């Protein structure tokens, strides 16, 4: 069947033994990264689909729940993430050119922005905690003792001019909105935390001057991952904060 | 006792024969193709057994053959699909003259109610030769109502009525199984279906202890809960008139139209704000945690029975009473009071 | 390493250096990035789970000897079948062929030195091991009794067992299979030897490629479903809880969106194995190569569109039931095409009956029955009756045991000489194959009849008229157990005492046979170049291929 062929290539220290050339290695790992992102899309996709089904079913409750979260914080966080995508892209750019100083700078900036995002997210979660909007046994959106801040029912009465009884029913149902809110933003935040770990590793390698125009894939895939997590947020922000807030 | 080795279940419903015919056809197809493949393999294995001096003949394939064995199975399976779909549609559409029963599944028992108010646990008596439709709901997890002799099965879900229907053809006693795994005593959630000749069934019904029909119990419950305060037939009522409502289309405040079936009535009681009838205010409190599944069935039976009384259909109502928000607390207060002392209904049931 | 002139030499020797003796010590195994060693690690792990699951199966069958149940209380019985299902599905069947034979063979078959991402491959095994720890912990701490399907609201709100631990185990195991699938996809795309075009790929590769697509696309949906289930249990968030307005049927949709394609994860690699074995032992090119190859892809694609056929009686609308039934019939066609092509491959062949071929023939027969009984379940009006009865159990086991396990054992025997460099004892192996076949049919055929009679699945006790068939089934299971234990014994024995196999004991085609057995760590001494179609049998000289005694 076969003849033999010996492939001789210049041997880069980062070339793994199973590859014949740096190009093949780059193509393979690139392809793997995109497959992995596909997996991630399917994972968030399942959650998004469930969200949309319930949004149709409990429209009013979703509107009410959505109105109770802070657009300004969400918007600020969106800006932070977009900025971090820019710095991440810059980090990849500097890795491609092998400029160590810039790599370190931009990765550190990206991490800073990522941490800012997580901080803001934590503040938002804390607000929700104070308003008793954490789903579960202690959930209360009807203004019980200690939960006056998160009285969605009262807000509905004032804003929508509907009777209190209906408002309370809707407020109770908004628990399902918050279930999705925490599941979706929580999964996203988990990805951000993993991303921060990834960035720490990249920062360490960048400082060690591992990357060169011939070998910069780790930074590139770190970047792809970071952008992906960004894009998920770009969908989450309107779905959770904006589209229901129409009145 | 001689061990029994049954190979085929009893046929005791009108649909059993249809299902069995399809089953036997599929058994035939399966046997034919399995034997075809098995015999071909055996034949090739023996005929072309490796012997010295003979080499395999290399064949790449044949597009014609590929098309043949794609198209023929496709044809056969489409035929089966259509046949089976017809049976399914038949099974999913209860005849309109069916005797209506109600079932509640809970861990781990079956409860049935007849419209006359008779109740049974883990046993279901039905007449022979008359379609029987059962509206079923679960009080806890998912169960499944399965009577092998009738070839019927349908899941019993929480929070939603599913229906199943059958027409028994043979008097006798048959297994009733829960076929959806429902926890520890799943295999003990069994009962029996007793099929009786119509006259025996009537006698059995009459002998049953019943404290009033389901509708009558529902009416009583309706008054106890104070529903009557708002759901009155006069034009000043705060809630929609329920006479002639059941089974009709209802126009909602957001412009949609829904059919007032069991699931709609149930939702309106437990989650009143979900679907607001056009021209009314969402002021009704929820009865979640107050009305249990049995009571719910009685309320539905009562609302259904109102169809037989004269009254204005819901959609013809032209001047909805608007309620100012300031009134709402008063109304709620009033309703609470009425929970204890219910007023007599303005119209008596004939 | 052309085979054109080799006469089987009387004395074969083991190669001096190969992947098994390249390095010694626990470290060299636990830190290996060699796909072959990882395959062996996986082989050991899943064999463990196969026998654990098997013990549960044996206990289930023993319990059902008498109508009231012979061994346990109902709650214990429920744990038995749940843990049988979870272990067999998530810890044996899903990784079975891809993670063992696939891991071992994919790089060899495409002529690569290793999988594209060896670290990810090792990570996959570690993730699997962590998942296994969760599963074992869940079992040791008292087990689960949800059934392997975890239906809500039963699993989320009513059962008191270790559901979360087990669910976490399954989520983690899912990532192990995602990593395996990802690796295969990249390897097949980017690591093929020169001249190995898509049209020249062995069908085993096509099958594993299709499997990998499903792994990468479907598994994350299971992960998110079970995460929501775990959150529901932990925090009562209400997405599947009807009391809080959630919909338990949505769980079924999301669960089956993975778990139906997952049965194709379980069967497709088996189909790939059969294509290799049938061609080799018929000394023939596969009949209709491209049809067999593309039918794998067709199964993978259609497999995503049929999930709700598990829910025909769960309250989905009549019209959507219609669509899902139609698609389920459509997915049967590519499987039928494969069966016909394998049969036609034997036509005018030169057929010999070594153990792998016996398993392959068994597979074709049993898979045909398993596949055709799938039509009963896809048929709407009939499914109403047989859904959730022993008919489903029988159908599923005909495909999974009669199909997948037979293919797995066939493949294990076929490539055993490549894995270990030694032959298994042919006589014992044939006996085991025969015992497995007989035991299998006796175990599961009566269950078709039981199912049509109406015996529901997951019953700890049953009406007495079903007893005879249950006794038959239990009798079959005891025979089947012998058929599974025998190979464990003689395969282990052969690792030391088996005859030395030589690089290509079957005179088979394919790049994996062109290197020594066991292969060296880097697989090939030189990158092979492919110039031929796959399965180019029929070029060998007279007397070159041994006539089987």
How many angstroms separate the Cα of C138 from the Cα of each of A89, C72, C86, C135?
A: 44, 19, 11, 5
User: Which C positions 175-234 lie with beta carbon below 8 A of chain A?
Assistant: 178, 182-183, 185-187, 189-191, 193-195, 216-221, 223-225, 227-228, 231
C109 touches chain A (CB under 8 A): no
The tens digit of pLDDT for each residue in A73-103 reads 999 999 999 999 999 999 999 999 988 999 9
Verify whether the Cβ–Cβ distance B332 to A165 is below 8 Å: yes
The Cα–Cα gap between B92 and B79 comes to 20
Give the model's pLDDT for residue C16: 86
List % helix, strand, coil for chain A (3-state, nearest 5): 75, 0, 25
The Cα–Cα gap between C289 and C534 comes to 9
Chain A residues close to B272, C-beta within 8 Å: 165-166, 169
Best of B144, B155, B160, B272 to substitute, by most chain C Cβ atoms within 10 angstroms, is: B155
Taking residues A24-52, what's their average pLDDT? 92
Give the model's pLDDT for residue C409: 96
ipTM of the complex: 0.91
A142 touches chain B (CB under 8 A): no
Verify whether the Cβ–Cβ distance B187 to C542 is below 8 Å: no
Chain C residues close to B54, C-beta within 8 Å: 350
Distance from CA of B79 to the nearest CA of C (A): 10
Verify whether the Cβ–Cβ distance B271 to C245 is below 8 Å: yes
CA C450, C452, C457, C459 torsion: positive or negative?
negative
Verify whether the Cβ–Cβ distance A179 to C190 is below 8 Å: no
The Cα–Cα gap between C323 and C315 comes to 15
Chain A residues close to C231, C-beta within 8 Å: 179, 183
A59-63, B35-39, C216-220, C341-345: range with lowest mean pLDDT = A59-63
Give chain C's mean pLDDT: 92
Verify whether the Cβ–Cβ distance A165 to B325 is below 8 Å: no
Verify whether the Cβ–Cβ distance A5 to C254 is below 8 Å: no
Q: Which of A17, A32, A180 sits opposite C522 (nearest CB)?
A: A17
Verify whether the Cβ–Cβ distance C528 to A4 is below 8 Å: yes
Verify whether the Cβ–Cβ distance B56 to C350 is below 8 Å: yes
The set of chains that have 3 or more CB pairs under 8 A with A is B, C
Give the model's pLDDT for residue C122: 96
Give the model's pLDDT for residue C202: 95
Chain A residues close to B332, C-beta within 8 Å: 165
- Kind of pairing between the strands at B162-166 and B132-138: antiparallel
Distance from CA of B272 to the nearest CA of A (A): 8
Distance from CA of B227 to the nearest CA of A (A): 15
B290 touches chain A (CB under 8 A): no
Nearest CA in chain A to B333: A165
Distance from CA of C343 to the nearest CA of B (A): 6
A174-188, C3-17, C104-118: range with lowest mean pLDDT = C3-17
Give the model's pLDDT for residue C13: 83
Chain C residues close to B152, C-beta within 8 Å: 384-385
Chain A residues close to C247, C-beta within 8 Å: 53, 57
Chain C residues close to A31, C-beta within 8 Å: 116, 185-186, 189-190
Give chain A's mean pLDDT: 88
Verify whether the Cβ–Cβ distance C191 to A36 is below 8 Å: no
* Backbone Cα Rg of chain C: 23
A162 touches chain B (CB under 8 A): yes
The Cα–Cα gap between B77 and B79 comes to 5
pLDDT of residue C312 exceeding 60, the answer is yes
Q: Which of A60, A165, A170 sits opposite B283 (nearest CB)?
A: A165
A43 touches chain C (CB under 8 A): yes
Cα C541 off chain centre by: 36
Give the model's pLDDT for residue B333: 52
B254 touches chain A (CB under 8 A): no
The DSSP annotation for B247-287 comes to: TSEEEBTTS-EEE--HHHHHHHHH-TTSSPBTT--S-PPP-
Phi, psi at B287, each rounded to 5°: -110, 20
User: Which A positions 44-73 lie with beta carbon below 8 A of chain C?
Assistant: 44-47, 50, 53-54, 57-58
Chain B residues close to C332, C-beta within 8 Å: 73, 77
Tokens, residue A125:
């979660």
The Cα–Cα gap between C181 and B278 comes to 54
SS3 of C268-318: the string is HHHHHHHHHHHHHHHCCCCCCHHHHHHHHHHHHHHHHHCHHHHCCCCCCCH
- Which residue would you say has higher pLDDT here, C366 or C542? C366
Verify whether the Cβ–Cβ distance B273 to A164 is below 8 Å: no
Best of B230, B268, B282, B288 to substitute, by most chain A Cβ atoms within 10 angstroms, is: B282
Verify whether the Cβ–Cβ distance A165 to B323 is below 8 Å: no
Q: Give the three-class secondary structure for B321.
A: coil
The Cα–Cα gap between B215 and C523 comes to 80
Q: Give the three-class secondary structure for A152.
A: helix
Give the model's pLDDT for residue A161: 82
Can you give the pLDDT of all 350 residues of chain B as single tens digits? 455 678 889 999 999 999 999 999 999 999 999 999 999 999 999 999 888 878 888 888 889 999 999 999 999 999 999 999 999 999 999 998 999 999 999 999 999 999 888 889 999 999 999 999 999 999 999 999 999 999 999 999 998 999 999 999 999 999 999 999 999 999 999 999 999 999 999 999 888 777 788 888 888 899 888 888 888 777 777 888 888 888 888 888 888 888 888 889 998 898 888 888 888 888 888 888 888 888 899 899 899 888 876 544 444 443 333 333 444 444 445 445 444 333 333 333 33
Verify whether the Cβ–Cβ distance A28 to C220 is below 8 Å: no
Start-to-end CA distance of chain B, whole Å, equals 58
The tens digit of pLDDT for each residue in C472-485 reads 999 999 999 999 99
C110 with A18: CB under 8 angstroms?
no
Verify whether the Cβ–Cβ distance B273 to A161 is below 8 Å: no
Distance from CA of C106 to the nearest CA of B (A): 24
The tens digit of pLDDT for each residue in C409-457 reads 999 999 999 999 999 999 999 999 999 999 999 999 999 999 999 999 9
CA C113, C115, C118, C123 torsion: positive or negative?
negative
Give the model's pLDDT for residue C481: 95
Q: At what angle do helices B293-305 and B214-224 cross, to 10 degrees?
A: 100
Give the model's pLDDT for residue C520: 93
C156 with C233: CB under 8 angstroms?
yes
Instruction: Grade residue C544 by pLDDT with cuts at 50, 70 and 90.
Output: low
């Amino acid at each position: 069947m076969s003849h033999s062929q010996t492939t001789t290539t210049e041997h880069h220290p980062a070339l793994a033994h199973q590859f014949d050339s740096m190009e093949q290695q780059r193509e393979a790992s690139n392809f793997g990264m995109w497959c992995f992102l596909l997996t991630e899309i399917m994972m968030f996709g399942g959650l998004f689909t469930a969200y949309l089904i319930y949004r149709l079913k409990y429209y009013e409750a979703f509107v009410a729940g959505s109105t109770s979260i802070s657009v300004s914080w969400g918007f600020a966080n969106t800006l932070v993430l977009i900025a971090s995508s820019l710095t991440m892209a810059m980090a990849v750019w500097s890795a491609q050119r092998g400029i160590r100083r810039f790599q370190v700078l931009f990765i550190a900036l990206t991490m800073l922005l990522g941490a800012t995002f997580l901080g803001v997210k934590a503040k938002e979660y804390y607000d929700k905690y104070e308003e008793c909007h954490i789903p579960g046994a202690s959930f209360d959106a009807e203004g019980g003792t200690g939960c006056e801040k998160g009285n969605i029912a009262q807000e509905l009465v004032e804003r929508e001019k509907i009777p209190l009884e209906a408002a309370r029913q809707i407020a109770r149902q908004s628990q399902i909105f918050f279930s999705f809110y925490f599941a979706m933003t929580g999964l996203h935040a988990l990805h951000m935390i993993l991303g921060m770990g990834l960035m720490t590793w990249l920062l360490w390698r960048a400082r060690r001057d591992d990357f060169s125009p011939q070998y910069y894939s780790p930074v590139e895939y770190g970047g792809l991952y970071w952008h992906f997590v960004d894009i998920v947020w770009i969908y989450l922000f309107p779905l959770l904060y904006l589209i229901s807030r129409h009145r | 006792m001689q061990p029994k080795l049954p190979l085929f279940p009893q046929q005791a419903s009108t649909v059993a024969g249809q299902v069995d015919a399809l089953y036997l056809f599929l058994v035939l197809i399966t046997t034919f193709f399995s034997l075809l493949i098995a015999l071909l393999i055996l034949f090739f294995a023996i005929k072309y057994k490796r012997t010295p001096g003979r080499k395999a003949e290399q064949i790449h394939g044949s597009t014609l053959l590929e098309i043949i064995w794609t198209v023929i199975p496709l044809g056969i399976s489409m035929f089966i699909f259509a046949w089976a779909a017809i049976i399914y549609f038949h099974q999913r559409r209860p005849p309109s003259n069916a005797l209506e029963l109600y079932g509640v599944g809970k861990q781990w028992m079956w409860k049935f109610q007849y419209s006359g108010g008779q109740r049974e646990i883990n046993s279901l008596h039905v007449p022979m030769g008359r379609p029987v439709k059962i509206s079923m709901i679960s009080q806890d997890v998912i169960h499944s109502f399965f009577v092998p002799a009738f070839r019927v099965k349908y899941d019993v879900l929480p929070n939603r009525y599913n229906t199943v229907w059958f027409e028994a053809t043979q008097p006798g006693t048959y297994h009733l199984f829960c076929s959806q795994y429902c926890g520890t005593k799943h295999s003990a959630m069994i009962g029996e279906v007793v099929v009786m000749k119509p006259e025996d069934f009537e006698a059995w019904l009459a002998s049953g202890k019943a404290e009033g029909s389901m509708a009558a119990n529902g009416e009583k419950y309706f008054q106890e809960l104070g529903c009557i305060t708002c759901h009155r037939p006069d034009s000043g009522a705060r809630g929609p008139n329920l006479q002639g409502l059941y089974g009709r289309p209802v126009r909602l405040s957001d412009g949609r139209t829904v059919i007032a079936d069991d699931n709609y009535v149930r939702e309106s009681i437990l989650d009143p704000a979900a679907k607001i009838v056009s021209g009314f205010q969402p002021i009704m409190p929820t009865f979640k945690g107050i009305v249990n599944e049995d009571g719910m069935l009685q309320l539905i039976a009562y609302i259904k029975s109102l169809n037989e009384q004269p009254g204005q259909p819901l959609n013809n109502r032209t001047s909805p009473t608007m309620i100012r928000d300031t009134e709402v607390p008063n109304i709620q207060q009033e309703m609470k009071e009425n929970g204890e002392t219910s007023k007599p209904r303005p119209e008596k049931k004939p | 390493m052309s085979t054109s002139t080799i006469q089987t030499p009387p004395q074969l020797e083991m190669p001096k250096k190969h992947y098994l003796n390249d390095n010694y010590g626990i470290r060299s195994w636990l830190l290996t990035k060699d796909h072959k060693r990882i395959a062996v690690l996986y082989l050991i792990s899943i064999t463990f789970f196969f026998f654990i699951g098997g013990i549960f199966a044996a206990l289930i069958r023993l319990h059902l000897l008498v109508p009231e149940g012979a061994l346990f209380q109902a709650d214990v019985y429920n744990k038995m079948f749940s843990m049988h299902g979870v272990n067999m599905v998530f810890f044996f069947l899903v990784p079975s062929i891809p993670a063992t034979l696939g891991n071992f063979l994919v790089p060899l078959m495409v002529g690569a030195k290793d999988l594209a991402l060896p670290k990810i491959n090792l990570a996959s095994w570690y993730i699997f091991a962590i998942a296994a720890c969760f599963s074992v912990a869940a079992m040791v701490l008292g087990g689960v009794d949800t059934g392997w399907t975890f239906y809500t609201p039963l699993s989320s709100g009513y059962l008191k067992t270790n559901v979360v631990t087990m669910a976490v185990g399954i989520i983690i195991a899912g990532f192990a299979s995602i990593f395996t699938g990802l690796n295969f996809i990249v390897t097949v795309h980017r690591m093929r030897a020169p001249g190995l075009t898509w049209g020249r790929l062995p069908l085993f590769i096509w099958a594993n490629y299709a499997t990998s697509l499903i792994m990468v696309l479907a598994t994350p949906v299971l992960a998110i479903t079970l995460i929501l289930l775990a959150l529901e249990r932990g925090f009562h968030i209400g997405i599947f809880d009807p009391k809080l307005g959630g919909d338990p049927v949505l769980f079924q949709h999301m669960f089956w969106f993975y778990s139906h394609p997952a049965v194709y994860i379980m069967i497709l690699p088996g189909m790939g194995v059969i294509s290799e074995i049938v061609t080799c032992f018929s000394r023939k090119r596969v009949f209709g190569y491209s049809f067999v190859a593309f039918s794998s892809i067709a199964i993978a694609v259609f497999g995503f569109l049929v999930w709700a056929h598990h829910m025909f009686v769960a309250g989905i609308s009549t019209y959507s039931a219609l669509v899902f039934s139609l698609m389920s019939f459509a997915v049967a066609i590519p499987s039928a095409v494969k069966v016909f092509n394998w049969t036609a491959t034997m036509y005018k062949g030169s057929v010999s009956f070594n153990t792998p071929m016996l398993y392959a023939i068994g597979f074709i027969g049993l898979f045909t029955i398993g596949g055709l009984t799938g039509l009963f379940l896809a048929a709407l009006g009939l499914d109403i009756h047989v859904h959730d009865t022993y008919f489903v159990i029988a159908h599923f086991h005909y495909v999974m045991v009669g199909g997948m396990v037979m293919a797995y054992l066939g493949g294990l025997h076929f490539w055993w000489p490549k894995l270990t460099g030694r032959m298994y004892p042919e006589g014992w192996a044939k006996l085991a194959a025969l015992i497995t076949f007989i035991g299998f049919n006796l175990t599961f055929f009566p269950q078709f009849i039981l199912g049509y009679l109406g015996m529901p699945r997951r019953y700890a006790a049953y009406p007495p008229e079903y007893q005879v068939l249950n006794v038959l089934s239990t009798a079959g299971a005891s025979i089947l157990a012998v058929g599974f234990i025998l190979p464990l014994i003689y395969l282990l024995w052969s690792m030391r005492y088996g005859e030395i196999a030589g690089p290509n004991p079957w005179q088979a085609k394919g790049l994996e046979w062109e290197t020594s057995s066991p292969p060296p760590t880097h697989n090939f001494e030189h990158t092979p170049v492919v110039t031929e179609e796959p399965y180019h049998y029929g070029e060998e000289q007279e007397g070159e291929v041994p006539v089987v005694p």
